[in-house]
Amino acid sequence: MNTFKQRILTLAMLAVASAPALSQSPTVPMPVPDEASIPKGPMGDAIKRGKALLTDTHKQLPKNVGNGLNCTSCHLNAGTTAHASPWVGLVGAFPEYRSRSGKVISLQERINDCFQRSMNGKPLAFDSAEMNAIMAYMKWLSTGVPTGTNVAGRGFEKIDTSLTPDPVHGKTIYGAQCASCHGAEGQGTKNPQGGYIFPPVWGKDSFNVGAGMARMYTAAAFVKHNMPLGQGGTLSAQDAVDVAAYFTQQPRPDYAAKAKDWPKGDRPKDAR
Protein backbone atom coordinates (compact mmCIF):
# COMPACT_ATOMS: atom_id res chain seq x y z
CA MET A 1 0.00 0.00 0.00
CA ASN A 2 1.49 3.38 -0.97
CA THR A 3 1.91 6.28 1.47
CA PHE A 4 -1.05 8.24 0.09
CA LYS A 5 -3.49 5.34 0.52
CA GLN A 6 -2.09 4.61 3.99
CA ARG A 7 -2.79 8.21 5.00
CA ILE A 8 -6.37 8.07 3.67
CA LEU A 9 -7.00 4.80 5.55
CA THR A 10 -5.56 6.20 8.78
CA LEU A 11 -7.70 9.35 8.56
CA ALA A 12 -10.78 7.21 7.87
CA MET A 13 -10.14 5.04 10.94
CA LEU A 14 -9.52 8.07 13.17
CA ALA A 15 -12.69 9.79 11.94
CA VAL A 16 -14.83 6.74 12.58
CA ALA A 17 -13.33 6.21 16.01
CA SER A 18 -13.91 9.81 17.08
CA ALA A 19 -17.32 10.55 15.54
CA PRO A 20 -20.75 9.09 16.37
CA ALA A 21 -22.68 7.21 13.71
CA LEU A 22 -24.85 9.53 11.63
CA SER A 23 -27.91 7.47 12.47
CA GLN A 24 -27.38 8.53 16.09
CA SER A 25 -26.56 12.16 15.24
CA PRO A 26 -28.94 15.13 15.15
CA THR A 27 -30.59 15.99 11.85
CA VAL A 28 -30.20 19.57 10.64
CA PRO A 29 -31.98 21.44 7.83
CA MET A 30 -30.30 21.28 4.44
CA PRO A 31 -28.78 24.69 3.67
CA VAL A 32 -27.76 25.44 0.08
CA PRO A 33 -25.14 28.20 -0.18
CA ASP A 34 -25.60 31.12 -2.56
CA GLU A 35 -23.28 30.94 -5.57
CA ALA A 36 -22.29 34.51 -4.79
CA SER A 37 -20.43 33.07 -1.80
CA ILE A 38 -17.98 31.16 -4.02
CA PRO A 39 -14.60 32.77 -3.29
CA LYS A 40 -12.40 34.29 -5.94
CA GLY A 41 -9.05 32.78 -6.78
CA PRO A 42 -7.85 29.17 -7.12
CA MET A 43 -10.34 27.70 -4.62
CA GLY A 44 -13.27 29.39 -6.33
CA ASP A 45 -12.02 28.18 -9.70
CA ALA A 46 -11.86 24.62 -8.35
CA ILE A 47 -15.41 24.85 -6.97
CA LYS A 48 -16.75 26.03 -10.32
CA ARG A 49 -14.77 23.35 -12.14
CA GLY A 50 -16.17 20.70 -9.81
CA LYS A 51 -19.72 21.79 -10.52
CA ALA A 52 -19.04 21.70 -14.26
CA LEU A 53 -17.64 18.17 -14.01
CA LEU A 54 -20.66 16.94 -12.09
CA THR A 55 -23.29 18.59 -14.29
CA ASP A 56 -21.65 17.87 -17.67
CA THR A 57 -19.81 14.67 -16.78
CA HIS A 58 -20.32 12.82 -20.05
CA LYS A 59 -18.68 15.61 -22.06
CA GLN A 60 -16.08 16.75 -19.52
CA LEU A 61 -14.77 13.30 -18.54
CA PRO A 62 -15.18 11.05 -21.61
CA LYS A 63 -12.42 8.69 -20.46
CA ASN A 64 -14.23 8.04 -17.17
CA VAL A 65 -17.86 7.89 -18.34
CA GLY A 66 -18.93 4.80 -20.25
CA ASN A 67 -22.54 5.77 -20.93
CA GLY A 68 -24.66 8.84 -21.66
CA LEU A 69 -25.24 10.04 -18.11
CA ASN A 70 -24.08 12.96 -16.00
CA CYS A 71 -23.78 12.80 -12.23
CA THR A 72 -26.75 15.16 -12.06
CA SER A 73 -28.93 12.68 -13.94
CA CYS A 74 -29.69 11.33 -10.45
CA HIS A 75 -28.29 14.00 -8.11
CA LEU A 76 -30.77 16.62 -9.26
CA ASN A 77 -30.23 20.38 -9.44
CA ALA A 78 -26.45 20.10 -9.09
CA GLY A 79 -26.79 17.97 -5.98
CA THR A 80 -29.02 20.33 -4.01
CA THR A 81 -32.44 18.59 -4.17
CA ALA A 82 -33.62 16.86 -1.00
CA HIS A 83 -34.33 13.12 -1.42
CA ALA A 84 -32.45 13.09 -4.73
CA SER A 85 -29.22 12.03 -3.04
CA PRO A 86 -27.96 15.60 -2.47
CA TRP A 87 -24.28 16.34 -1.88
CA VAL A 88 -24.95 18.98 0.78
CA GLY A 89 -23.28 17.92 4.03
CA LEU A 90 -21.50 14.88 2.56
CA VAL A 91 -18.00 16.13 3.34
CA GLY A 92 -18.77 15.93 7.06
CA ALA A 93 -20.49 12.53 6.73
CA PHE A 94 -17.53 10.60 5.39
CA PRO A 95 -15.61 8.35 6.00
CA GLU A 96 -18.66 6.12 6.38
CA TYR A 97 -19.36 2.40 6.70
CA ARG A 98 -21.08 1.03 3.59
CA SER A 99 -22.65 -2.42 3.80
CA ARG A 100 -22.30 -2.92 0.04
CA SER A 101 -18.53 -2.55 0.41
CA GLY A 102 -18.46 -4.24 3.80
CA LYS A 103 -16.01 -1.62 5.06
CA VAL A 104 -15.49 2.03 5.91
CA ILE A 105 -14.92 4.07 2.75
CA SER A 106 -13.86 7.63 1.97
CA LEU A 107 -15.91 10.14 0.01
CA GLN A 108 -13.47 9.73 -2.87
CA GLU A 109 -14.20 6.00 -2.92
CA ARG A 110 -17.94 6.71 -2.90
CA ILE A 111 -17.56 9.09 -5.84
CA ASN A 112 -15.61 6.49 -7.77
CA ASP A 113 -18.29 3.92 -6.95
CA CYS A 114 -20.68 6.10 -8.94
CA PHE A 115 -18.25 6.44 -11.83
CA GLN A 116 -17.88 2.67 -12.07
CA ARG A 117 -21.53 1.79 -11.53
CA SER A 118 -23.94 4.61 -12.40
CA MET A 119 -21.64 6.00 -15.09
CA ASN A 120 -20.53 2.50 -16.19
CA GLY A 121 -17.02 3.94 -16.45
CA LYS A 122 -13.62 4.21 -14.81
CA PRO A 123 -12.56 5.72 -11.46
CA LEU A 124 -10.71 9.00 -11.03
CA ALA A 125 -7.30 9.09 -9.36
CA PHE A 126 -7.73 10.19 -5.73
CA ASP A 127 -5.17 12.99 -6.14
CA SER A 128 -6.24 14.12 -9.63
CA ALA A 129 -7.22 17.71 -10.37
CA GLU A 130 -10.69 16.46 -11.31
CA MET A 131 -11.27 14.64 -8.03
CA ASN A 132 -10.00 17.64 -6.06
CA ALA A 133 -12.36 19.92 -7.98
CA ILE A 134 -15.33 17.65 -7.25
CA MET A 135 -14.35 17.54 -3.58
CA ALA A 136 -14.01 21.34 -3.54
CA TYR A 137 -17.55 21.74 -4.89
CA MET A 138 -18.97 19.28 -2.36
CA LYS A 139 -17.06 21.01 0.46
CA TRP A 140 -18.51 24.36 -0.60
CA LEU A 141 -22.01 22.84 -0.76
CA SER A 142 -21.49 21.64 2.82
CA THR A 143 -20.76 25.14 4.13
CA GLY A 144 -22.52 25.61 7.47
CA VAL A 145 -23.28 21.91 8.03
CA PRO A 146 -21.60 20.72 11.25
CA THR A 147 -19.36 17.67 10.86
CA GLY A 148 -21.06 14.47 12.03
CA THR A 149 -24.62 15.72 11.63
CA ASN A 150 -27.25 14.25 9.33
CA VAL A 151 -28.80 16.59 6.76
CA ALA A 152 -32.55 16.44 6.23
CA GLY A 153 -33.28 14.97 2.81
CA ARG A 154 -30.03 13.04 2.54
CA GLY A 155 -30.19 10.04 0.21
CA PHE A 156 -33.62 9.02 -1.03
CA GLU A 157 -37.05 9.04 0.59
CA LYS A 158 -37.91 5.84 2.44
CA ILE A 159 -40.19 3.42 0.62
CA ASP A 160 -42.20 0.49 1.93
CA THR A 161 -40.13 -2.54 0.92
CA SER A 162 -42.96 -4.90 1.85
CA LEU A 163 -44.95 -3.76 -1.19
CA THR A 164 -45.28 -6.49 -3.82
CA PRO A 165 -44.21 -5.21 -7.25
CA ASP A 166 -46.39 -5.53 -10.35
CA PRO A 167 -44.15 -4.90 -13.38
CA VAL A 168 -47.06 -5.31 -15.81
CA HIS A 169 -48.84 -2.40 -14.14
CA GLY A 170 -45.45 -0.65 -14.01
CA LYS A 171 -45.14 -0.86 -17.80
CA THR A 172 -48.49 0.92 -18.12
CA ILE A 173 -47.37 3.66 -15.73
CA TYR A 174 -44.08 4.01 -17.59
CA GLY A 175 -45.88 4.50 -20.90
CA ALA A 176 -48.23 7.09 -19.41
CA GLN A 177 -45.87 8.99 -17.08
CA CYS A 178 -42.26 8.37 -18.13
CA ALA A 179 -41.94 7.56 -21.84
CA SER A 180 -42.48 11.14 -23.02
CA CYS A 181 -39.10 12.08 -21.49
CA HIS A 182 -37.17 8.83 -21.17
CA GLY A 183 -38.40 7.23 -24.41
CA ALA A 184 -40.67 4.30 -25.13
CA GLU A 185 -37.62 2.02 -25.15
CA GLY A 186 -35.90 3.73 -22.23
CA GLN A 187 -33.46 5.38 -24.63
CA GLY A 188 -33.75 8.90 -23.20
CA THR A 189 -34.04 12.19 -25.11
CA LYS A 190 -30.86 13.49 -26.72
CA ASN A 191 -29.75 17.10 -27.13
CA PRO A 192 -28.04 18.56 -30.24
CA GLN A 193 -24.62 18.27 -28.56
CA GLY A 194 -24.88 14.49 -28.35
CA GLY A 195 -25.72 14.33 -24.67
CA TYR A 196 -29.10 13.83 -23.07
CA ILE A 197 -31.79 16.25 -22.01
CA PHE A 198 -33.47 13.34 -20.23
CA PRO A 199 -31.29 10.33 -19.42
CA PRO A 200 -31.79 6.78 -20.68
CA VAL A 201 -33.11 4.43 -18.01
CA TRP A 202 -32.07 1.20 -19.70
CA GLY A 203 -29.88 0.10 -22.60
CA LYS A 204 -26.15 0.60 -23.25
CA ASP A 205 -26.15 4.30 -22.35
CA SER A 206 -27.79 3.80 -18.94
CA PHE A 207 -26.47 2.78 -15.51
CA ASN A 208 -25.20 -0.77 -15.10
CA VAL A 209 -26.59 -3.57 -12.92
CA GLY A 210 -24.23 -2.67 -10.07
CA ALA A 211 -25.68 0.83 -9.64
CA GLY A 212 -27.93 1.66 -6.73
CA MET A 213 -30.60 2.78 -9.20
CA ALA A 214 -30.69 -0.75 -10.63
CA ARG A 215 -32.20 -1.88 -7.32
CA MET A 216 -35.99 -1.85 -7.48
CA TYR A 217 -36.78 -0.28 -4.09
CA THR A 218 -33.98 2.28 -4.37
CA ALA A 219 -35.26 3.33 -7.79
CA ALA A 220 -38.83 3.40 -6.45
CA ALA A 221 -37.82 5.77 -3.64
CA PHE A 222 -36.22 8.14 -6.14
CA VAL A 223 -39.20 7.95 -8.51
CA LYS A 224 -41.81 8.56 -5.82
CA HIS A 225 -40.22 11.78 -4.58
CA ASN A 226 -38.84 13.19 -7.83
CA MET A 227 -40.73 11.84 -10.84
CA PRO A 228 -42.31 12.77 -13.16
CA LEU A 229 -39.91 15.74 -13.18
CA GLY A 230 -41.60 18.71 -11.56
CA GLN A 231 -44.45 16.50 -10.33
CA GLY A 232 -42.70 14.55 -7.59
CA GLY A 233 -45.02 13.02 -5.01
CA THR A 234 -47.89 12.47 -7.43
CA LEU A 235 -47.31 8.72 -7.75
CA SER A 236 -48.33 6.42 -4.92
CA ALA A 237 -45.71 4.22 -3.27
CA GLN A 238 -47.25 1.20 -5.01
CA ASP A 239 -47.11 2.89 -8.41
CA ALA A 240 -43.47 3.86 -7.81
CA VAL A 241 -42.56 0.29 -6.89
CA ASP A 242 -44.41 -1.06 -9.91
CA VAL A 243 -42.75 1.25 -12.42
CA ALA A 244 -39.34 0.64 -10.83
CA ALA A 245 -39.97 -3.12 -11.08
CA TYR A 246 -40.53 -2.61 -14.80
CA PHE A 247 -37.58 -0.43 -15.81
CA THR A 248 -34.90 -1.79 -13.46
CA GLN A 249 -35.28 -5.25 -15.00
CA GLN A 250 -34.77 -4.06 -18.56
CA PRO A 251 -31.46 -4.81 -20.35
CA ARG A 252 -28.49 -2.75 -19.22
CA PRO A 253 -24.69 -3.16 -18.97
CA ASP A 254 -23.36 -5.78 -16.58
CA TYR A 255 -20.91 -5.05 -13.75
CA ALA A 256 -18.61 -7.98 -13.09
CA ALA A 257 -17.40 -6.66 -9.73
CA LYS A 258 -20.94 -6.94 -8.31
CA ALA A 259 -19.97 -10.45 -7.24
CA LYS A 260 -17.87 -8.84 -4.49
CA ASP A 261 -20.75 -6.73 -3.11
CA TRP A 262 -22.15 -7.30 0.41
CA PRO A 263 -19.23 -9.49 1.50
CA LYS A 264 -20.69 -9.81 5.01
CA GLY A 265 -23.81 -11.56 3.74
CA ASP A 266 -26.41 -8.78 4.24
CA ARG A 267 -27.37 -8.54 0.60
CA PRO A 268 -30.73 -6.72 0.07
CA LYS A 269 -33.54 -8.64 -1.59
CA ASP A 270 -33.67 -6.28 -4.58
CA ALA A 271 -29.94 -6.36 -5.36
CA ARG A 272 -29.16 -7.32 -8.95
pLDDT of residue 237 exceeding 50: yes
Compute the distance between CA of residue 59 and CA of residue 65 in angstroms, rounded to an integer.
Answer: 9
- Domain-embedded: residue 157: no
The set of residues, in sequence order, having a beta carbon less than 8 Å from that of 14 and lying 6+ positions away, is none
Number of domains present in the structure of the chain:
2
pLDDT band at 243 (very low <50, low <70, confident <90, very high): very high
Q: Is residue 1 in some structural domain?
A: no
pLDDT value for 13: 39
Mean pLDDT of 223-244: 97
Q: What is the pLDDT of residues 56-115, one digit of tens each?
A: 999 999 999 999 999 999 999 999 999 999 999 999 999 999 999 999 999 999 999 999
| Residue ranges in the chain assigned as alpha helix (H) | 3-18, 42-55, 57-60, 76-79, 107-116, 129-141, 167-173, 179-182, 216-226, 237-247
129 within some domain: yes
pTM, two decimals, is 0.88
pLDDT of 26 reads: 80
Q: Is there a domain that residue 220 lies in?
A: yes
Say yes or no: 146 and 174 in one domain: no
The conformation of residue 67, written as its DSSP 8-state character, comes to S
| Residue 11 and residue 114 in one domain | yes
Domain that holds residue 50: 7-24+35-151
Domain containing 49 — which CATH number?
Answer: 1.10.760.10
Whether residue 53 is contained in a domain is answered as yes
Domain boundary among 102, 118, 151: 151
Q: Do 19 and 111 belong together in one domain?
A: yes
Same domain, 117 and 191: no
Dump pLDDT digits (tens) for 134-176: 999 999 999 999 988 889 999 999 999 999 999 999 999 999 9
Please indicate, yes or no, if residue 47 is contained in any of the structural domains: yes
Q: How does DSSP classify residue 156?
A: B
- pLDDT value for 272: 87
